[in-house]
Amino acid sequence: MNRDASTEPVVVPGSTFGPVFAGLKPHMAALDEFLREQTGAFEPEIREMADYCIDTSGKRIRPALVFLSGWQTEGRPSSALVRAAAVVELVHLATLVHDDIMDGAALRRNRETAARKFGATPAVLLGDALFAHALHLAALFPTTEVCRIVAESTRRVCAGEIVQTMRRGSTRVSRDDYWRIIDLKTAELFRVSCQLGTRLTGAAEGYVAAAATFGRHLGIAYQIYDDLTDFYGDEQRIGKTLGTDFASGKLTLPLLVLMEKLPATERAGLRDEICGSAAGQMSLRLHQMEILGVFDEVETTVLQEIASAETALAPWATESSSALLGQLCGVLRAQLRALRERD
Amino acid sequence: MNRDASTEPVVVPGSTFGPVFAGLKPHMAALDEFLREQTGAFEPEIREMADYCIDTSGKRIRPALVFLSGWQTEGRPSSALVRAAAVVELVHLATLVHDDIMDGAALRRNRETAARKFGATPAVLLGDALFAHALHLAALFPTTEVCRIVAESTRRVCAGEIVQTMRRGSTRVSRDDYWRIIDLKTAELFRVSCQLGTRLTGAAEGYVAAAATFGRHLGIAYQIYDDLTDFYGDEQRIGKTLGTDFASGKLTLPLLVLMEKLPATERAGLRDEICGSAAGQMSLRLHQMEILGVFDEVETTVLQEIASAETALAPWATESSSALLGQLCGVLRAQLRALRERD
């Protein structure tokens, strides 16, 4: 990929960062090939199950961050980058397998979830095996650094998921709580992806730290955007049912803002819907969000995070990967605009 | 611990390897202290939950194997051994947290299971966080070797648990299948404990391999013994209800042997009990086991595995840790005798 080619977006259907850079095609092909090879490492009895989970249908946002932040030259990526991309993707896939058990989800991306296909109990263990294999791959690097980073990051992602789970159906969630949850459950792995990509290509310490900060802000922006799509999304395009988070009692930023903006006397009703003591009135809540300008406020927050991500990279404009990472900010802004326009 | 002291067994109630060596007291104290410190590494929101799981009530068989195989001198163990012992124990504790979710178990060692105390969903994630922390500790060693060994081992333990889960309630389990399951789910971590203990104290390659083989055979012997206690145990002493495995459709060696020894015409009834299409007739099955000599045959198998464990160590009699490990064989033999005598 050269700088010119990188400005030509290629739309990948169903992916937020769909318009990824054309130059990433060989990277993603190398990743898919590597991941397919990995199933051979699993014990024969669980190979088919592992293969099903590793299947190449995901959005691959985290691997894209590894490849973009570790960008050096056009063509086939280094084996170190491919392995690092596989590690973060496997950690992510393992959390999805466990998430789907907890949510009782039957479908993910139009396929049966592992929990539905193999049963909840094997799915718990299968997620464990995917985690373990991710760490095994991390341990194949020459030093313990990748392993240390990934193991710690995995623990933080799990902590974020635990806090979110414990707060589900609770109305005592502050903005700080929300921030903490998405920082751990989403931004952490975005951050680590950028850290690994830069680190493994020998970038200067300062740039590694800047890329990590970029990844963290992008992750927060992405998660808030994703939470917005529960209310404003296009069901067909995004591939999920609107109001799923709302119905499950997840107090995300759009609802937090609505709660703040509603007159005190009207908050009790919304609280009841979140705790599940009353049925969620999706159309009423959407209408109120409209009137009270919830989208605008949430959008402003996302844009602030995107700006913080860009600020982190600003001093590193001469790094070739910096410009590529920066383009993700443009893509997310465009997605946000599209959400408003579809609305 | 010197050789004389090592021959004085100290009975630890409720532990199969209860008569552990007096000299391990400072090791276990150092491990407990180290594990207590670890909870500080967890995110504040999940610290209390992690602390609950890490609590020092377990049997600590795997750490004992690390300490015994890495035995060098009396007194406080090296920090490397303590960390390795903590790693294998945390992996084991994580599998217990996930096991208890799947079994729907309410109690373990007379305390509420994590699944019961915090809910199944947080318990899935908590197990993940414990796994991740174990791997994080493994990554603190100077090289990637421990991380590689532990990650691979964890995947194999999970594979064993998956196969066992998928076969539950099935009567199409051969002796080979049973062997494969216990080799993965139990013997693997015993093997790795001995491998790490010897490796970290700079033992010769040949002795590391011998200790690993010893651990594997001891693990198989231990698991078969443990499966025997489902039929022959003393409920109060072992702290579990007899027939739990039988009732849950787990086809362990005592049942496999009974199935083989029953006249072909009487097998269907037992099969129905295992698949759960008929209620388990525990007293009838115990009576048949008695008449048909099931205990003897299973005992012979355990003794064969113990002998194989001893054979592996035989060429290494001059290693001080070899004699200590060998004593575990004596302890397991004594436990087996005690089981027969109580019967």
Separation of first and last alpha carbons in chain B: 35
Minimum distance, in Å, between the CA of residue B142 and any CA atom of chain A: 7
The residue of A42, A121, A185 whose CB has the most chain B CBs within 10 angstroms, and thus the best one to mutate to test that interface, is A121
Signed CA dihedral, B318, B319, B325, B327: sign only: positive
Does residue A112 sit in helix, strand or coil? strand
Separation between Cα atoms, residue B239 and residue B234, nearest integer Å: 8
For B199-238, write each residue's pLDDT tens digit.
999 999 999 999 999 999 999 999 999 999 989 877 666 5
Nearest CA in chain B to A153: B132
Residue count of chain A, please give it. 343
Q: Please report residues of B whose CB lies closer than 8 A to that of A162.
A: 45-46, 49, 122, 125-126, 129
Whether A144 and B139 lie within 8 Å, measured CB to CB: yes
pLDDT score of B108:
79
Contact predicate B196/B149, CB 8 Å? yes
Torsion-angle region of A241 (φ positive above 0: left; ψ -120 to 50: alpha; else: beta) = beta
In a domain, B75, yes or no: yes
Minimum distance, in Å, between the CA of residue B275 and any CA atom of chain A: 17
Q: Please report residues of A whose CB lies closer than 8 A to that of B161.
A: 125
In a domain, A95, yes or no: yes
Q: Please report residues of B whose CB lies closer than 8 A to that of A121.
A: 101-102, 165
For B240-253, write each residue's pLDDT tens digit.
677 888 888 889 99
Tokens 């509603």 appear where? A262
CA distances from residue A39 to A49, A87, A112, B88, B136 in whole angstroms, order as listed: 9, 13, 19, 25, 24
For B273-291, write each residue's pLDDT tens digit.
998 888 889 999 999 999 9
For A266-290, write each residue's pLDDT tens digit.
999 999 999 888 888 999 999 999 9
Kindly state the DSSP code that residue A92 receives in the 8-state scheme.
H
The residue of A103, A136, A179 whose CB has the most chain B CBs within 10 angstroms, and thus the best one to mutate to test that interface, is A136
The residue of B147, B148, B174 whose CB has the most chain A CBs within 10 angstroms, and thus the best one to mutate to test that interface, is B147
In a domain, A5, yes or no: no
Whether B132 and A127 lie within 8 Å, measured CB to CB: no
Whether A139 and B142 lie within 8 Å, measured CB to CB: no
The residue of B45, B91, B103, B157 whose CB has the most chain A CBs within 10 angstroms, and thus the best one to mutate to test that interface, is B45
In a domain, B5, yes or no: no
Question: Pick from B98, B139, B150: which is nearest to A124 by CB?
Answer: B98
pLDDT score of B3:
37
Query: Looking at the predicted structure, is the pLDDT value of residue B10 above 70?
Result: no
Domain of B283 in residue numbering reads as 20-342
Whether B124 and A144 lie within 8 Å, measured CB to CB: no
Tokens 């009270």 appear where? A292
Q: How would residue B56 be classed by pLDDT, with cut points 50, 70 and 90?
A: low
Q: Please report residues of A whose CB lies closer than 8 A to that of B166.
A: 45, 122
Minimum distance, in Å, between the CA of residue B94 and any CA atom of chain A: 10
Q: Please report residues of A whose CB lies closer than 8 A to that of B43.
A: 155-156, 159, 163, 184
In a domain, A259, yes or no: yes
Kindly state the DSSP code that residue A107 receives in the 8-state scheme.
E
Nearest CA in chain B to A181: B45
Whether A142 and B142 lie within 8 Å, measured CB to CB: no
Tokens representing B290 are 């008695």
Separation between Cα atoms, residue B163 and residue B27, nearest integer Å: 35
Whether A147 and B139 lie within 8 Å, measured CB to CB: yes
Contact predicate A63/A189, CB 8 Å? no
pLDDT score of B237:
62
Task: Write the ipTM.
Answer: 0.88
Tokens 């240390």 appear where? A148
Whether B151 and A158 lie within 8 Å, measured CB to CB: no
Tokens representing B165 are 């889960």
Instruction: Please classify residue A342 by burial: count the beta carbons closer than 10 Å to its beta carbon, then call 0-12 exposed, 13-18 middle and 19+ buried.
Output: exposed
Minimum distance, in Å, between the CA of residue A100 and any CA atom of chain B: 11
Average pLDDT rounded to a whole number, residues A227-245: 77
Nearest CA in chain A to B142: A144
Q: How would residue A155 be classed by pLDDT, with cut points 50, 70 and 90?
A: very high
Average pLDDT rounded to a whole number, residues A116-129: 89
What is the CB neighbour count within 10 angstroms for residue A10? 12
Whether A129 and B42 lie within 8 Å, measured CB to CB: no
In a domain, B12, yes or no: no
Kindly state the DSSP code that residue A5 receives in the 8-state scheme.
G
For B109-146, write each residue's pLDDT tens digit.
778 888 888 888 889 989 999 999 999 999 999 999 99
Whether A133 and B151 lie within 8 Å, measured CB to CB: yes
| CB contact set of B251 (below 8 Å; sequence gap of 6+) | B167, B170, B171, B173, B178, B274
Nearest CA in chain B to A165: B122
Average pLDDT rounded to a whole number, residues A121-125: 88
For A74-90, write each residue's pLDDT tens digit.
778 899 999 999 999 99
Whether B121 and A163 lie within 8 Å, measured CB to CB: no
Angle at B105 between CA A95 and CA B295, to 5 degrees: 115
Tokens representing B84 are 């390795």
In a domain, A12, yes or no: no
Q: Please report residues of A whose CB lies closer than 8 A to that of B46.
A: 158-159, 162-163
The residue of B49, B95, B103, B144 whose CB has the most chain A CBs within 10 angstroms, and thus the best one to mutate to test that interface, is B144
In a domain, A267, yes or no: yes
Minimum distance, in Å, between the CA of residue A138 and any CA atom of chain B: 8
User: What are the residues facing B20 on neighbouring strands?
Assistant: B10
Query: Looking at the predicted structure, is the pLDDT value of residue B11 above 80?
Result: no
Separation between Cα atoms, residue B117 and residue A30, nearest integer Å: 44
Query: Looking at the predicted structure, is the pLDDT value of residue B94 above 90?
Result: yes
Q: Please report residues of B whose CB lies closer than 8 A to that of A147.
A: 135, 138-139, 144, 147
Whether B132 and A131 lie within 8 Å, measured CB to CB: yes
| CB contact set of B101 (below 8 Å; sequence gap of 6+) | A121, A124, B113, B115, B120, B123, B124, B127
Q: Please report residues of A whose CB lies closer than 8 A to that of B165.
A: 119, 121-122, 125
**Number of structural domains chain A divides into:** 1
Question: Pick from B42, B139, B162: which is nearest to A148 by CB?
Answer: B139
Whether A128 and B128 lie within 8 Å, measured CB to CB: yes
Separation between Cα atoms, residue A9 and residue A335, nearest integer Å: 13
Query: Looking at the predicted structure, is the pLDDT value of residue A258 above 60?
Result: yes
Structure-model confidence comparison of residues B331 and B238, the more confident one = B331
Q: Mean pLDDT of all residues in chain B?
A: 88
Whether B46 and A162 lie within 8 Å, measured CB to CB: yes
Q: Which of A1-5, A69-73, A262-266, A337-341 has the highest mean pLDDT?
A: A262-266
User: What are the residues facing B10 on neighbouring strands?
Assistant: B20
The residue of B90, B128, B164 whose CB has the most chain A CBs within 10 angstroms, and thus the best one to mutate to test that interface, is B128
CATH value at residue A270: 1.10.600.10
Tokens representing A36 are 């397919």
